[in-house]
Amino acid sequence: MAGVPISVRDVSMRYSTRGGAVEVLADFDLAVDAGERLAIMGPSGAGKTTLLALIGGLEAIQRGSIVVGGTDLAHLHGDALAAYRYQTVGFVFQHFGLLGNLSARENIELAMSFGGRSSRDRRARAQLLLDAVGIAHRADHRPAELSGGESQRVALARALANEPRLLLADEPTGNLDGETAERVLELLDRTAADSGATLLTVTHDPAVARRFDRIIQLEPRVIAS
């Protein structure tokens, strides 16, 4: 399945906190081609996570427009937004984001349970993904029993479960040591390439960033008002 193009136009994002308003993005523009693999860099607080949250439909757009594969996210609300996340986006988090009460297999199956997929179909696909990320031998372990690298492989399998056309990875190797990080990145690279999904990865590591088609740099612009 091919990836989606992304068009971010004039997006501004401002959080109001007790300490005052925080402007994270101001008139931000970004165009990503379908299937492009992009590294997002920038210091902490620059708004990298916020950008992913906006593109992934986790955060409401305040100003500007974000169009993903022809869908204007500003027009999506409630169930439609949930359906967008379910059908189009696969997330990989720095903290893995696995549900602690479910086994690796169940975590992957859960991600397929918000559409009309049969449980048999889910099971089969989960097995396929477990094999693909090389974690089948840990299928019935809970996250607490998995190493960081193993957890992130499971999380990647989960992100791929619904054949997303957009993969969003927020510092996917931030909690992993060098060698493990390298292998997870390879896997992310390969699976994204295999599926043709557009890939946006936030990273602090220039060596990591160099693997990608393009690198963009976000600068913090914190203006208290």
Partner 1 sequence: MNWPDAFLAALRSLDRRAGRAALTVLAVALAAALLSALLIVSTAARTRVLDQLAKGGPLAGIQVAAAAPGPQALDADTPRPGRPRDIDADAVRRIRALRSVRSVVTLESNPVLAVAPSAAIQPFQDTLAGLDLRRVRTLPITVIVGRSPTPDSLTEVAVTEGYLRRVGLTRATAAKAVGTEVEIGAPRSFPSSRDRIDVRGRWTRAEIVGVVAQQAIDAQFLGSRAMVRAARAWTAQSDPDSGFELPSSRYAGLFVVADGLDRVGSARASITRLGYSTSSPENLIETVRRYLRVVEIVLAGIGLIALAIAALGITNALLAAVRERRREIGVLKAIGARDRDVRRIFLIEAGITGLIGGLVGTVAGYGIARILGAVVNQYLVDQGLPGVGIGLPALVVVGGVLGSAMLAVLAGITPAQRAARLPARQAMGDA
Ligand X SMILES: Nc1ncnc2c1ncn2[C@@H]1O[C@H](COP(=O)(O)OP(=O)(O)O)[C@@H](O)[C@H]1O
Part of the chain binding partner 1 (CB under 8 A), chosen from 67-75, 83-91, 185-193, 210-218: 83-91
Part of the chain binding partner 1 (CB under 8 A), chosen from 64-72, 79-87, 124-132, 180-188: 79-87
Q: Does 152 bind Mg ion (CB under 5 A)?
A: no
Name the residue nearer to ligand X (CB basis): 47 or 172: 47
Q: Does 173 bind ligand X (CB under 6 A)?
A: no
Interface of this chain with partner 1, residues 139 to 158, rule: CB under 8 A: 158
Sequence-ordered list of residues with C-beta below 8 angstroms from that of 124, at least 6 positions apart, any chain: none
Contact 171, 165 (CB under 8 A): no
Cross-strand pairs, 12: 63
Sequence-ordered list of residues with C-beta below 8 angstroms from that of 92, at least 6 positions apart, any chain: 152, 155, 156, 159, 167, 168, 169, 170, 172, 188
What CA–CA distance (Å, rounded) separates 144 from 76? 36
Pick what 165 binds: partner 1, Mg ion, ligand X, none; C-beta below 5 to 8 Å, kind-dependent: none
Sequence-ordered list of residues with C-beta below 8 angstroms from that of 136, at least 6 positions apart, any chain: 127, 130
Part of the chain binding Mg ion (CB under 5 A), chosen from 35-43, 47-55, 105-113, 177-185: 47-55
- One-letter amino acid at 111 equals A
Among 41, 49, 103, 164, binds Mg ion (CB under 5 A): 49
Pick what 78 binds: partner 1, ligand X, Mg ion, none; C-beta below 5 to 8 Å, kind-dependent: partner 1
Report how far Cα 134 is from the mean position of its chain's Cα atoms. 20
Pick what 95 binds: Mg ion, ligand X, partner 1, none; C-beta below 5 to 8 Å, kind-dependent: partner 1
How many CB atoms are located within 10 Å of the residue 37 CB? 21
What CA–CA distance (Å, rounded) separates 165 from 133? 18
H or E element in which residue 170 lies: strand 166-170
Binding positions for partner 1, rule: CB under 8 A: 15, 49-50, 52-53, 56-59, 78-79, 82-83, 85-87, 89, 91, 93-95, 97-102, 106, 110-111, 113-115, 158, 162, 170
Which residues of the chain form contacts with ligand X (CB under 6 A)? 15, 17, 22, 24, 42, 44-50
